[in-house]
Amino acid sequence: MKIGLISVAGQTYRQTPEVPVVLAVSTNASIGTSTRVMRLAWFAALLSYAVLLTTFHYASTTVWWIASPALMADFIAAAPFQSRVLLPLIVHAIMRVAPWFDVDLLFAAAEVAAWMLLVVVARKALRAYRIETSDLVGGILALTITVPVAMHLIVPDLEVHSVLGLDGGVLELGKWQTVPFFRYVYDLPAAVFTLALVLCLARFVRTPRSGWLMAYLGLFALATVNRETTMFMLPAFLAVSWGVLDRRTLAKALAAQVIIFVVIQAAIRWLFPGLPNPYASIPGTNYEIHLTDNLWLFTNPLYLLTYLARFGAGLYLPVLLLHRYLDPVLKQTLLWFGIPFLVSTLLFGRLVEHRVVIEIVPLLWLGAAQAISAWSADHARQSQAHARERLLEHPLQSDGLGAVQPLTQSPARSPAEIGQ
Specify whether the CB–CB gap between 396 and 402 falls below 8 A.
yes
For residue 134, the model assigns a pLDDT of: 80
Q: Alpha-carbon distance 122 to 196, whole Å? A: 8
Within-domain flag for 418: no
CB-based contacts of 121: which residues, under 8 Å, 6+ apart?
A: 192, 195, 196, 199
Within-domain flag for 129: yes
Considering the entire predicted model, what is its pTM?
Answer: 0.85
Which amino acid is located at 419 in the chain?
Answer: G
For residue 389, the model assigns a pLDDT of: 80
Mean pLDDT of 146-164: 92
Mean pLDDT of 111-120: 98
CB count, 10 Å around CB of 320?
Answer: 12
Residue length, the chain? 420
Q: Alpha-carbon distance 75 to 271, whole Å? A: 9
Burial string for 145-161 (b: 16+ CB within 10 Å, else e) reads bbebbbbbbbbebbebe
Residues β-bridged to residue 302: none
Residue 7: pLDDT band (50, 70, 90) is very low
Number of domains observed in the structure of the chain: 1
Within-domain flag for 11: no
Within-domain flag for 413: no
Does residue 274 surpass a pLDDT of 90?
yes
Most confident of 21-30, 49-58, 395-404: 49-58
CB-based contacts of 228: which residues, under 8 Å, 6+ apart?
A: 80, 83, 84, 261, 265
Nearest CA among 53, 60, 54 for reference residue 157: 60
Question: How many angstroms separate the Cα of 413 from the Cα of each of 273, 369, 407?
Answer: 108, 67, 14
Mean pLDDT of 359-375: 97
Mean pLDDT of 253-258: 97
Does residue 3 surpass a pLDDT of 60?
no
Q: Alpha-carbon distance 57 to 110, whole Å? A: 13
Q: Exposed, middle or buried, 100 (CB in 10 Å: 0-12/13-18/19+)?
A: exposed
Residue 7: enclosing H or E segment and its boundaries?
Answer: strand 5-8
Specify whether the CB–CB gap between 84 and 64 falls below 8 A.
no
Three-class DSSP category at 141: helix
For residue 200, the model assigns a pLDDT of: 96
Structural domain range at position 207? 29-162+172-378
Residue 163: pLDDT band (50, 70, 90) is confident
Most confident of 17-31, 32-46, 233-247: 233-247
Specify whether the CB–CB gap between 101 and 70 falls below 8 A.
no
DSSP E strand stretches across 146-211: 157-160, 164-167, 170-173, 176-179
For residue 19, the model assigns a pLDDT of: 47
Q: Alpha-carbon distance 228 to 220, whole Å? A: 10
Within-domain flag for 391: no
Q: Alpha-carbon distance 139 to 124, whole Å? A: 10
Within-domain flag for 393: no
Residue 393: pLDDT band (50, 70, 90) is confident
